[in-house]
């Protein structure tokens, strides 16, 4: 199963126990796809991004849905939690996400490699 969501990177935080949370913000036009992320509750998945210029970044090899919230304007914030050992990219690549719209892919099970 693959869920795709057009969103912007909304930052990340790392805790001293090695847990990293990636946050993405999706506009109202993506609300149906964003709400679809609730299917991921309790499931492990991979996280990848494709920037508008076609650059693909594999962000994690294993992650969980931490939080999904919708504000009064219909914008959805999705927070993905992972352990630092499952991060599959450099912090320079993470920094390259700033202020860019991208498609994020939440992938459960085997992937064909097309989205990574």
pTM: 0.86
Q: Is 100 left (phi over 0), alpha (psi -120 to 50) or beta?
A: beta
Residue 40, domain CATH: 2.40.30
Angle at 40 between CA 94 and CA 57, to 5 degrees: 20
Residue 112 lies in a domain: no
The pLDDT tens digits for 9-40 are 999 999 999 999 999 999 999 999 999 899 88
Number of domains the chain is built from: 1
Residue 40 lies in a domain: yes
Report the alpha-carbon distance of residue 57 to residue 72 in Å, rounded.
Answer: 31
The pLDDT tens digits for 79-115 are 999 999 999 998 888 888 887 788 888 887 654 344 4
Report the alpha-carbon distance of residue 4 to residue 17 in Å, rounded.
Answer: 29
State which residues form the domain around 90: 2-107
Q: Looking at residue 91, what is its pLDDT?
A: 80
Q: Looking at residue 103, what is its pLDDT?
A: 87
Report the alpha-carbon distance of residue 77 to residue 75 in Å, rounded.
Answer: 7
Mean pLDDT score across all residues of the chain: 87
Residue 101 lies in a domain: yes
């Amino acid at each position: 199963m693959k869920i795709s969501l057009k969103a912007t990177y909304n930052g990340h935080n790392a805790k001293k126990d090695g847990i990293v949370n990636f946050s993405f913000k999706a506009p109202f036009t993506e609300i149906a796809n964003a709400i679809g992320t609730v299917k991921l509750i309790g499931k492990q998945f991979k996280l990848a991004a494709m920037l508008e210029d076609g650059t693909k970044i594999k962000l994690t090899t294993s992650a969980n849905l931490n939080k999904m919230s919708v504000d009064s304007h219909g914008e959805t914030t999705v927070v993905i939690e992972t352990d630092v050992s499952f991060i599959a990219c450099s912090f320079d690549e993470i920094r390259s996400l700033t202020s860019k719209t991208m498609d994020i892919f939440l992938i459960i099970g085997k992937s064909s490699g097309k989205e990574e």
